[in-house]
Structure 1
Amino acid sequence: MPLILASASAIRRAMLDQAGVAHRVVPANVDEGAFKRRLREPRMLALELARAKAIAVSRDNPRDMVIGSDSVVSVEDRLFDKPRDRFDAAGHLRFFSGKTMILMSAVAVARDGELEWNHVETARLLVRSLSDGFIADYLDAEWPEVGATVGVFRLEGRGVQLFDRIEGDHFTILGMPLIPLLGALRGRGMLAA
């Protein structure tokens, strides 16, 4: 049975590739803004977006197993989107400075337009105090790649320098709770047990 990743995220594709999970990519066309206007609780927002993406793509690809995933960042109860531009990214980093970032990553599996499984995990990332000089240098090195991330960082790159402490699963921080997903795929006969 074919497996589809309903995401254009390069890191999510790389996680599946590195884990040896054969798949194809069909990005979901979901109105994320509608979900964000309706849901303000980060955990539920991440979960609902992951579910919606998996279900939407599975409706157009009957019999295929579809993985949807999404991540949500909040700092001091304020939800953040991907930065609109480099100026916006710098503003996000200034706001994050010295605070705890809560990152919720969710993953869902659907087939034939029906949700079969879903999971959400939380990570806490203590952002160290960031100087304006550091932020400028960081964005010089990491822009535009970090513009595609909700937390303005790639942990697999220089983004690791933003933090004093990280609590949570590595894959969750990268954007998809991979270990629980692999178990769910094995349980559905998609991977060897």
Structure 2
Amino acid sequence: MIPVVLASQSPSRRQILTAAGIDPLIIVSDVDERAIEEEFTGSVGDLTTALSEAKAQAVVDRIIASPPPVLHSSETIVVIAGDSLLEFDGHAIGKPGTAERTRTIWSAIAGEWTQLHSGHTVAVLNRASGAEAEATELELGALRSKRSTTSVLIGSPSAEELEAYIATEEPFQVAGALTIDGYGGAFVDRLDGDHLTVLGLSLPAVRELVTDSGLFWPDLWSHQH
């Protein structure tokens, strides 16, 4: 088994990997997302990739500098990072954070088609080799990224329904002020694309990145039969 590090504190991303047979070690990147967003000049979709790459690189640097004890004997380590943003009318909609911001977002997107972009980055760390390499030294072998996009038709909840949803505080910490795997799922009318993209981590995209890095996807499974 190849150990997997998830560079995210997202419960949804962790649950997706766990359901797919992968039990990741969580190492949060602590990347300043706001600073990256303010300096970025590309598309909303490309921004999610830039954010996921920054998160992956930050965690890679941390592991190389000071590997957690549980990873000391690992010859290969896979780091998975992701970021998601909802795009509407050419603008990125991240986590609203407050009830007021949530109301503003929903007044704009209710009944409209939107695009949910998820950027994915997979980094592979290998045990360094060569006469000058120390036995415990790790080095970055590969870092690849891929974006996936799913179109989302937002529903039109009544004012009372929206206030009840806001009262749950669920939308405050999710991209686009809604999630399909909780209370907000009832307020999404249609998806066109991979539903896992909307949840923050497209397994087909991650598997492609792992495979392109020369690894065998089932080797990431925590329990094999």
**TM-score, normalisation: structure 1:** 0.89
Partner of 1:20: 21
Which runs of 5 or more residues in structure 2 are unaligned? 65-75, 126-138, 221-225
Structure number with the bigger relative contact order (C-alpha 8 A, sep ≥ 6) is 2
Does structure 1 retain, via aligned residues, the 8 Å contact 2:152–2:192? yes
Is residue 6–residue 68 contact of structure 1 (8 Å, CA) maintained in 2? yes
- Say which of 181, 184, 189 aligns to 1:159: 184
Distance in 1 of aligned mates of 2:163 and 2:198: 23
Task: Deviation per CA, 1:96-147: give whole Å up to 9, x if none.
Answer: 112222110011011345652211111111113333222112223xx22322
SS in structure 2 of the partner of residue 28 of structure 1: coil
Structure exhibiting the larger radius of gyration computed from Cα positions: 2
Q: How does 1:66-105 map to 2 (within 5 A)?
A: 66-105=79-118
Inter-partner Cα distance in structure 2 for 1:165 and 1:5: 29
Aligned partners of 1:106 and 1:177 also within 8 Å: no
Q: How many residues align?
A: 191
Q: Which moved more, 1:183-192 or 1:78-87?
A: 183-192
Quote the Cα distance in structure 1 between the aligned partners of 2:209 and 2:47.
21
Q: Read off the aligned partner of 2:46 and give its amino acid letter.
A: M
CA gap of 1:134–1:19, structure 2 versus 1, over 3 A, is same
8 A Cα contact 1:72 1:104, kept in partner: yes
Q: Alignment partner of 2:150: what SS?
A: strand
The root-mean-square deviation of aligned C-alpha atoms, in Å, is 2.0
Percent pairwise identity: 27
C-alpha change, 1:2 and 1:167, in structure 2 (3 Å) is same
CA distance in 1, matches of 2:166, 2:77: 39
**What does residue range 135-146 of structure 1 map to in structure 2 within 5 Å?**
135-140=162-167, 143-146=168-171
CA distance in 2, matches of 1:129, 1:23: 37
* Structure 1 residues 1-193: aligned runs within 5 Å: 1-40=2-41, 41-62=43-64, 64-110=77-123, 111=125, 112-113=139-140, 115-140=142-167, 143-186=168-211, 187-189=214-216, 191-192=218-219
Does the aligned pair in 2 maintain the 1:55–1:66 contact within 8 Å? no
CA distance in 1, matches of 2:112, 2:102: 16
What's the CA shift for 1:190?
5.6
SS of residue matched to 1:191 = helix
Aligned mates of 2:83, 2:142 — CA distance in 1: 15
User: Which amino acid in 1 is paired with 2:83?
Assistant: D
- Following superposition, the deviation at residue 18 of structure 1 comes to 0.8
